Structure 1
């Protein structure tokens, strides 16, 4: 029987998202690929330090602890295959069960998301993230300087999402951009009973929902989700009714009406937060690992 990843939560991520290769990348930027490869060769047996997505990956892989393979983590990297040796070695030294990887030596790797059936792609490369989103895959550009705290809530995965242009399409956000706040609030109140179109991160939310429905005695870690949005009443109702129409429950919802998101996220303590606006990401990165969803009206090419 052929091996398949069809029934699993597949997370694909670049080597820089999983491990801290910022020093090596700086050398690449300053001296080119040959110097970069030579440095990686001298460090093949030196495990890299954890990167932004490391705590999330570490916790997600615990869903496989009982022998049931529910989560698959794949390295999808612009690295050369030789440098890939260090990535796999670093994963092994950190006790991460990562068996699959694609290394493209400088070329964009996003096209391999489709055969993998990925439900999330994390990368530091904005172009790769944009192309992944345009191809229909949940993807985010990680902020390498985000705060990482694997020790917080060791038995719980906390994932927070922005609403418009992340969980929902950016149709309503376009109304706000083009006509202002009052027109946006009136529009959302008028269409409160009409579900919003799905945004790019719905496939990930659905996959997470399936993991959340597993009996508590079957898994050593639980997932807690939050909607953290600039919406406020009366625009809150349409967002909640949309989730209800999808038959998906969010554990926490924060309707902040334009307040800075960072302080609220510091209280939630996310293992990852996804937002389409860089100003919110800049605030959020001091609360935990953060990913910029380079999508929608806030992110024109």
Structure 2
């Protein structure tokens, strides 16, 4: 069973134009060491939600009528957390998080809630959840513990150049379409800010191939209206060191194999 609760404390976004991002509650709030209090502690995804809010805030400063905004949903699949509905909503209010809706579902049917809410990006710390959502056509990204050290004043999105260059097939997989659509929307958002002091930074990382592959990925993204702030070509080198320095909030990739690495 899937249930959705609207957050009346937040002005609802335009359903047709907003970019819907769903984040699991367990990634946003830390409930492992539950002390029984009224408010959960903050989880690894807390800086991510703050960064998403900062982008929205700056977009509305540029144009109060702006409709291309991030619309954040918290999705709960843990039975124990579902019994703490009021604590989840209260914690969101306590920290001033801009969350439009709260979705509660079982592990078996959480993908139904993603599709029902037209989620364009699903973020979770659970690899199996990310894979299942991706296999059902929902663009997904896996969050890790390094996210806790990411900036909260700027959203940093990493795009896989290898995925960008993956040849189109007929028909194009839903996940690949989702990645292209999402990156295009990011590009539209990024164009609304100047070169400096932008609340949104797009980083391209090409794991394999040389400078030619990186250049091809850049040209492909530009053809979609996406200009990147940084581009890194690893040419087969280990990605761990550079990723820890770049401190991106998530890796945007359009294929299940990215989640299986």
TM-score, length-scaled by structure 1: 0.66
Shift of 1:142: 2.0
Moved over 6 A (4+): none
User: Could you list the per-position Cα deviations for residues 19-67 of structure 1 after superposition, in whole angstroms to 9, with x for gaps in the alignment?
Assistant: 223446xxxxxxxxxxxxxx8xx34x1x222222211111211344346
SS at 2:222's partner residue?
Answer: helix
Structure number with the bigger relative contact order (C-alpha 8 A, sep ≥ 6) is 2
Q: CA RMSD in A?
A: 3.2
Partner of 2:51: 59
Q: How does 1:204-215 map to 2 (within 5 A)?
A: 204-215=182-193
2:176–2:255 CA contact under 8 A, matched in 1: no
Between the two proteins, the alignment pairs up a number of residues equal to 233
Gaps of 5+ in 2: 1-11, 169-174
1:170: how far off? 7.3
Deviations, residues 176-223 of structure 1 (Å, cap 9, x unaligned) = xxxxxxxxxxxxxxxxxxxxx95753232122112112256xxx9521
Unmatched tracts of structure 1, length 5 or more? 25-38, 172-196, 277-292
Structure 1 Cα separation of the partners of residues 107 and 257 of structure 2: 27
* Residues 1:20 and 2:30 are matched in the alignment: yes
Take 2:200 and 2:228, find their aligned partners in 1: how far apart are those partners? 10
Measured after TM superposition, the shift of residue 78 of structure 1 is 0.6
**For 1:148, what is the secondary structure of its paired residue?**
helix
The answer to whether structure 1 residue 146 and structure 2 residue 173 are counterparts is no
Shift of 1:257: 0.9
Q: Which residue pairs with 1:9 in the alignment?
A: 19
Structure 1 CA distance for aligned equivalents of residues 137 and 192 of structure 2? 27
Listed one character per residue, the Cα deviations across residues 53-90 of structure 1 (whole Å, up to 9, x for unaligned) are 21111121134434656221101121343223222221
TM-score normalised according to structure 2 size? 0.75
